Amino acid sequence: MSKLLANQIANYNDNGPVEAKEGLNIALNKPLQLAGSSGTAGQYLVSNGSYPIWQDLPSIPDAQVQVDWNSTTGVTSILNKPALSGVAISGSYNDLINKPTIPPAQVQVDWNAISGVTFIKNKPAFAAVATSGLYSDLTGRPSIPVSLSDFGIGSGDIDFGSYKLFYSNVFATLTELQAINAGTYHGMFAHVHSTGKAYFAHNSQWVPLANESDLPTSVPTTLGALDDVDTTGVLDGQVLKWNAASSEWQPGTDIQGTGGTGGASVSVSDTAPVGSNSGDLWWKSNEGRLKLYYADGDTNQWVDASPPLAQSNVPIAAGYITLNGTSPTWSGTAGYTVTGTQPGGAGTDYVITLTLPSAYSARTDYIVQATYDSTNYVSGNGASIGVARGTSSVVFTPRRWDETPLSLGEIMVTITNL
C-alpha cells in the first residue's frame, strides 16, 4: 500500500478538482472537512449545485395526539371552539329559542257545520240532483222518446221519399201469424216460413197469396182451350150449348136464327162488348172467364156462363159472443154454444169457451179471428183477447187495457177451415 503525506493536494490544472480514480477511504475517527470545517453534529453533505456544503437535518415535530373537546390547554385543546346552545347537545325542540307558533292539529271538516274550524267557507249550494242522483231532480231535462209514437210513428203517414225501407216480417208458423189481429193491422203484409206463402190482412182475416207454382203456366186465349168447352166438329153458324150430362159447352144449332147471321155473337176482349143481345157470349180474356148476356125481363147483365171458381179460406162460421160475466151468449152460425167461468174467483180472468158443432182432427185444421167491439165498454180504453184453439172448442180470455178481467162488450168471431 502506498502513502502520500501532504498537507495539500492540488490539481495543477487551474485549481480544478482532484480526481480520486479508485475511490476515497477516510480513516475511522478522522475528520472530513470542507474549507477547514468538519460541520456540526447531525449535519450532512449536500451539493448546492456548484460545490458541497454542510446542511442541517430538518426539524421533525412531535407525533400527533388526539384532540379533546373538553381540553382547555395544550395541543389537545381546540382553538376558537364555538359556544354551542343547549339544543346542539340535547336535540330537544324544547331547548330551541325563538320557536315558531304552530297552529293546533288539523281537524276533519264537516259539510253540515255552520261555524268553527270544521265549517267550510264558501261552500256551494248544490242542486237536489247532486245528492239524490235522480234524473227526475234535473231541471231543464230533455224530452226523451219512450215509444215509437214519440217519433210520430203510428200517428200519421211516413214519407221515405226515394229511400228504401228494409225490414223482415217473417212468422215461423201460420198459427203465430194468426195470433196477430188482422182487423187491427188491415193491409199488413207478412210471410209464413212453414207454409212458404205470403199473406195480407183484409176484412179481419189473413188472406194467402198464390205462389207462382200455384198459377197456370198459361192463360187460355180461345174458347176451345177452356176445360169446360168442347169445340170438336164445330160448324159455321153453330152456337155453344150446355150439356149437363158431360158438364161442358158443346157446339149446337142456333135455334134463334139460321147460318151465321141470326145466331148469338161471341166476343173476346178485356172489356164488355157494346150492343149485346140476350144469349151472346163474351170471353173476358184478362180473367179467363166465359160470360153470358142474360135478359130476365127486368134487367140485362153479363153472368158467368161456367161454374164459378171455388173460393178458398171462406169462413165456415161467424158470430159474436156477448160478455156477461160467467153467463155469455152466442149469436151467429147455428150449432155453436158458449159458456163462461171464473176459475180463480172474484177479481180474476173470465174464461169464455165456445164449443164447436163437431171436433177437428187437429187444432191446426182451422183458424179463429177474434176482435173486440167496445160499444158497451168505456170509450177510449182498449182491450185484448187471448185465444186458445182446441180440437173441439176455442177458449177466449178477455182483458182490459190494464190487464184486469173484462166482462162487458162483444167478441166478434170468425172461424175458417185450412
411 in a domain, yes or no? yes
pLDDT for residue 388? 94
Residues 6 or more apart in contact with residue 313 via CB below 8 angstroms: 205, 207, 208, 416, 417, 418
d(CA 171, CA 189): 11
H helical segments located in 155-304 = 174-178
Same-domain status, 326 and 288? no
Low-confidence ranges of the chain (pLDDT < 50): 257-261, 379-380
Cβ neighbours of 201 (radius 10 Å): 21
If asked whether residues 250 and 331 sit together in one domain, one would say no
204 and 287: one domain? no
pLDDT value at position 261?
A: 47
- Do both 338 and 397 map to the same domain? yes
Residue 278 is which amino acid?
S
Cβ burial, residue 191 (10 Å; 0-12/13-18/19+)? middle
In a domain, residue 299? The reply is yes
0.75 cut: is pTM over it? no
Instruction: Report if residue 174 sits inside a domain.
Output: yes
Q: Cβ distance 88 to 96 under 8 Å?
A: no
Indicate whether 250 and 326 sit together in one domain.
no
Residue with cell 180461345: 222
pLDDT at 104: 81
CB 295 within 8 A of CB 278: yes
Asked whether residue 45 is domain-assigned, the answer is no
Check whether residue 410 and residue 321 sit in a common domain: yes
Cβ-in-10-Å burial (0-12, 13-18, 19+) of 358 comes to: exposed
Q: CB count, 10 Å around CB of 394?
A: 21
Same domain, 331 and 398: yes
What is the pLDDT, as a whole number, of residue 231?
86
Residue 354, C-alpha cell as written in the block: 165456445
CA distances from 147 to 143, 167, 232, 242, 348 (A): 12, 19, 68, 63, 29
Structural domain span for residue 235? 223-304
pLDDT of residue 218: 74
> Do residues 170 and 254 share a domain?
no
Residue with cell 188491415: 186
Phi, psi at residue 316, to the nearest 5°?
-95, -15
Looking at the structure of the chain, the number of domains it has is 3
Nearest to 358 by CA among 313, 317, 312: 317
Supply the pLDDT for residue 327. 94
Residue 44: which residues within 8 A CB-CB, separation 6 or more? 54, 55, 57
Residue for cell digits 177479481?
Answer: 347
Q: What is the pLDDT of residues 69-80, one digit of tens each?
A: 888 888 888 888
Q: Which three cell numbers stand for residue 237?
A: 153458324
Residue 79 lies in a domain: no
